[in-house]
Structure 1
């Protein structure tokens, strides 16, 4: 491998990396750029974080569906558990407190003022709260297979918003991905799934479809906004900065959702809801608890992939895991996988592969330019010598 993955990411960001200019060029810093064991450690981290994303997303979606199927009715509670598990990230925040990462050493820019930073956390946190509410409405009114397939459109929205906010360039493969993912989602609006009266109602189906589509668009916007915040305001890409962003926006989102829970009056129905839950009180509590844990595992995985690779790759892994929930739903929850859903899933997978192939081509181009640059530097050195 001609260059390290850290150098590859910095090349994509337009930052020239020079290992010799790193402050405190200790043996630990040098070791991080040597082949061998460290390369396998990077792959181990990537596999572990990817597992967290895939497992957390699948389990969280399934448990959310079970909550509504077994008698849960509170959209605010379903939204609350998506963000309220942030305390599990505190140990990771403490661990990263005094750790100097490669990104921190390589990218040294003046940080923003605390007030501006707090405003960023506040705005993104409110946005996340609204987005989670839309996801909850979609999950309440749609079967899991339909819900997860519509969520596949978030990759297309991500590319679209990245074009305007982050200068993302469109290529034939990106455009192909956008078209396929859009068609795969639109097809599902014509499919009214059999099931209970709550989910078979055409009116509620449309509401669930539009809510999920809006939530996917919101999630596709959150990632470019987060990247823009790191580039223009936070001005550093460290593990601690990423953890701070995640925790503080979840704190804000949790506060907003709690206000909504009490303002809507749904808190009064929670006790009765728990008593009438089909699987019992213990199952009700455990469902909410493990749903919160699952979504935090998903969050940790996303954080890890953003830190080790990029936010784009994190979203790609998330989309790649979407078919897992419908498959598990068909196996464990006896959900039906209709022909229209099958076609939609194939189109979504095709769009994902097209997007991944463009990502692969971009990586090859960056590596080729870096190798050419290395050869030219060696030639210049030999000539000067």
Structure 2
């Protein structure tokens, strides 16, 4: 009887953790996206600062390193051969620089696109994930995955021809910015998918293991490199000189300006914590699935709070994106059934 109660307690604890991590991912992703868009709408102009807040909150992950280190020290029976320091340092440096560039692309997309359009384009990450997994992780293409790729491509392509009735893109300059934001978001989505595949490849080929501590270490060290690169860009571009004026002229006031940046940084770090938790408890695929599943939340909130227009083309694009998502996940459901059999 005691063992049954213990098993039930463990299962309940697992489900509670799963719910908490999923809430972190779904809520923080939407909040971070909305706060990022609000920054630009209310007078923010610094691309480098908007990019910096996506990585600079990494100290919030350090307690997880301390917690996992105590667990690791308590179990030293298994000797793990660590890869050479030079290889690991080079990997973290390259991935950190890659993250910095990817975050900049996301920032450009968020600056020039409505949240609804931006979020829908980000759904194409699943398609890119399948493509890169084929070459890097030896994933096989199936009819369901091909169907998903085609539908997600059509879903994003619909937004190329989209033109808001509000006149937001009525002149050539605005239209060029819209296209620039569109292409930047597509490139950022591809980069995000590539990062997942490279991380999986690194875990398999370099570290040859996967643990919660290792994933936290990768997140922290990559964020440190990315933050340093973005800070160099911020000071080299001269945008730091305009930040004081930008804060004084922010439409919502200085306090809300600072709170916006802090809230954005914390939101994306909670997103990281939630993603790491889901990777540790289930898989990296499931973490990515929850992330993509949360994308429609931001457009709905943007319509409510930022007065974004949910036009017919956007609704059609969203439905196609959901269709592609379901098709992609159904294939993995079939794979899971096959593995269990």
Would you say same fold, with TM above 0.5?
Answer: yes
Q: Is the aligned partner of 1:87 residue 2:98? A: no
CA distance in 2, matches of 1:362, 1:53: 25
CA distance in 2, matches of 1:182, 1:170: 16
- Which 5+ residue runs of structure 2 have no aligned equivalent? none
Q: Is the aligned partner of 1:171 residue 2:157? A: no
Report the alpha carbon displacement of residue 360 of structure 1 after superposing the two structures with TM.
1.5
Report the secondary structure of 1:190's partner residue. coil
Runs of 4+ in 1 over 3 A off after TM superposition: 104-109, 194-200
- 1:168-190 per-residue CA deviation (whole Å, 9 max, x = no partner) reads 11111111111111111111011
Matches within 5 A, 1:314-325: 314-325=287-298
Q: Is the contact made by 1:121 and 1:252 (CA closer than 8 Å) also made in structure 2?
A: yes
Q: Is the contact made by 2:109 and 2:184 (CA closer than 8 Å) also made in structure 1?
A: yes
Q: 2:18: which partner in 1?
A: 46
| 1:335/1:108 CA distance change after superposition, 3 Å | farther
CA distance in 2, matches of 1:287, 1:262: 21
- 1:236-274 per-residue CA deviation (whole Å, 9 max, x = no partner) reads 211110100000000000000000001111111111110
Report the alpha carbon displacement of residue 355 of structure 1 after superposing the two structures with TM.
1.4
Q: Is the aligned partner of 1:255 residue 2:234? A: no
- 1:24-58 per-residue CA deviation (whole Å, 9 max, x = no partner) reads xxxxxxx9xx8432222222222111111111100
- 1:153-178 per-residue CA deviation (whole Å, 9 max, x = no partner) reads 01110111011111111111111111
2:247 to 274, 283, 286: 274
CA distance in 1, matches of 2:247, 2:136: 44
Q: Over aligned residues, Cα RMSD in angstroms? A: 2.0
CA distance in 2, matches of 1:71, 1:187: 30
Q: 2:194: which partner in 1?
A: 221
Report the secondary structure of 2:70's partner residue. coil
Matches within 5 A, 1:193-232: 193-194=164-165, 201-232=174-205
- Which 5+ residue runs of structure 1 have no aligned equivalent? 1-30, 369-385
CA distance in 2, matches of 1:65, 1:106: 50
Report the alpha carbon displacement of residue 366 of structure 1 after superposing the two structures with TM.
1.5
Q: Is the contact made by 2:18 and 2:281 (CA closer than 8 Å) also made in structure 1?
A: yes
Q: 2:217: which partner in 1?
A: 244
**Structure exhibiting the larger radius of gyration computed from Cα positions:** 1
Larger RCO, structures 1/2 (Cα 8 Å, 6+ apart): 2
Is 105-114 or 208-217 further displaced after alignment? 105-114
Q: 2:275: which partner in 1?
A: 302
CA distance in 1, matches of 2:335, 2:157: 29
Q: Is the contact made by 2:34 and 2:115 (CA closer than 8 Å) also made in structure 1?
A: yes
Report the secondary structure of 1:149's partner residue. helix
TM-score (norm 1): 0.83
- 1:297-337 per-residue CA deviation (whole Å, 9 max, x = no partner) reads 10001111111111111111111000000000001111100
CA distance in 2, matches of 1:330, 1:107: 53
Aligned residue pairs total 334
TM-score (norm 2): 0.94
Report the secondary structure of 1:97's partner residue. helix
| 1:91/1:137 CA distance change after superposition, 3 Å | same
